[in-house]
Structure formats: C-alpha cells, structure tokens
Amino acid sequence: MKLIYISHSGFAIEGKDFAILIDFYRDSPEEFVHRQLLSHPGQLYILSSHSHPDHFNPEVLKWQKQRPDIRYILAEEIRQSLPQPFPEAVFLRAGERWQDQRLLVKAFGSTDIGISFLIQIDGKNIFHAGDLNNWHWAEESTPEEIEAAERNYLQELDSIAGETEEIDLALFPVDPRLGNDYTRGARQFIDRIHPRQFAPMHFWRRYDQANAFREYAEKHGCQFIAITREGEIFEHII
C-alpha cells in the first residue's frame, strides 16, 4: 500500500484495487486527489473525522455525482453540521463501527469534536487521530484545565489500547502551536500504543518542527515517516 500526504491532516492510502481518503481539507499543489485519486480503479472510501474546515471540505460530497460508488464514512457530528441530509453516507459515533467485505472502520473518541478512526484493511491497522490529542496549552491554560485535558486524553488512549494489540501506522497531530511541550500527546501515544510506524499531521506546514519528533519516535522503536511537502508519496509504507 502507498501512503500519500495530501495536506494538513489529509492522507490517502492506495492499494491495488481500493483507495481511502481521510480528512480532506484541500488538495496538494499537484492536485493529486482530483487528477489521480478520483479515478483510481476499485473502491473509493472517503472518511472525515469531524466538521472543522481544516478536516472536512463539503466538496467531497459533490464527488458522489462523478463516482456513485464512493462509500462515505463520516462522523455523526458532521451530519448535524450539514445544511441538508446526505443519505449516501454512514455516520459514526465513538464506539460504533462499519464494515464491508474489505474495510472495517472503528470509531473512537476525540478530545475535541468528532471521532478518531481505526481502519483495518488487508490485514493492516491504521489509526487516524482526527483531532484526538493532549490539547493542553501550557502557556495559557490553568493547572486544572491541563489536568482535565490530560486525563480525558489518556482515557481515550486506554480505549484504543484495549481494542487492538497492534497499530501498523499512526497518523497523529504534532502541532507546534501548543508551545514548548507540543509533542507531549504524540509521546504519550507512542508510549501507550506502540505503533510500528508514525506519520505527523496537523503541523501547519511547519515541517522541521513536526519532523523533530523523529528522534523520540525512533528511540522508542517506531519508524518515523518524515513529511517534507504536500503531495509526497511513500511507496510500500504499510
């Protein structure tokens, strides 16, 4: 399988006869999604974790006219944000799952809105965090707010760890806006979940700061996928 970094928290996963697009916000400069992914042979799945505009672009719903076979798996929270019903989609809450003959999607919680995804396909487990993270703003939050954020986050990690013994690839926020301790949530994720591979996301084009997490990840036995540009393709990564 290939992993393609689209932009921000958006990734595509391509197999021989399927493709999965997660949290599409905007296309890469080469327009990988519009020029290649939408014509990829086989089944196309589109997943969105929540309605924040940097994770969900309503444009994806219009693609159903171009490709009626698209299967949409979206957060229930998105349904509530839509101006009109979209019956072509499956909407999931945390704790729910959806599957067909090839793909299994399990929805976990978030420490913001919406859900996170555990995706199982071709014998591989891929986790996309959505906006799940230890969102503590150390320079702005009170000690009580920081403690509550961390407690809620660690509870979500316990839920994930209780569901699966192995994650082959984690797509997870490493957001420099959080300040000096911006990698705290990612470190806790690796320590608790032990993914085999880790790719950063939600880093607002601050590639150097996102990739600085490589040292910690690899020191703890996790292969780090360093992203250097939008539209970057990683062959046979999963």
Write out pLDDT tens, residues 81-138: 999 999 999 999 999 999 999 999 999 999 999 999 999 999 999 999 999 999 977 7
Q: Report the 10 Å Cβ neighbour count for 180.
A: 9
Tokens of 155: 């509870």
Tens-place pLDDT, residues 25-35: 999 999 999 99
Of the candidates 110, 117, 33, 124, the one whose C-alpha atom is nearest the C-alpha of residue 74 is 117
Q: At what angle do helices 184-193 and 143-163 cross, to 10 degrees?
A: 30
Give the pLDDT of residue 53: 97
Take residue 130 and report the two structure tokens written for it: 């959505």
d(CA 205, CA 117): 23
Please report which residue ranges of the chain form alpha helices under DSSP H: 32-35, 59-66, 76-81, 143-163, 184-193, 207-211, 214-219
- The string over 52-91, giving b where at least 16 C-beta atoms fall within 10 Å of a residue's C-beta and e elsewhere, is bebbbbeebbebbeeeeebbbbbbbbbeeeeeeeeeebbb
pTM: 0.97
Q: Is the pLDDT of residue 183 over 80?
A: yes
Q: Residue 117's closest CA among 160, 88, 55, 155?
A: 160
Give the C-alpha separation, 64 to 112, whole Å.
28
What pLDDT score was predicted for residue 236?
81
Contacts of 101 (CB under 8 A, 6+ apart): none
Asked if residue 213 lies in contact with residue 186, where contact means CB atoms within 8 angstroms, the answer is yes
CA–CA separation, 2 and 235 (whole Å): 5
Closest C-alpha to 200, from 228, 179, 181: 228
Mind listing the pLDDT tens digit for each residue in 34-65?
A: 999 999 999 999 999 999 999 999 999 999 99
pLDDT digits (tens, 9 = 90+) for 142-174: 888 888 889 999 999 999 999 988 999 999 999
Q: Which residue has the tokens 């014509």?
A: 39
Q: What CATH number labels 2-234?
A: 3.60.15.10
Burial (CB count <10 Å: 0-12, 13-18, 19+), residue 142: exposed
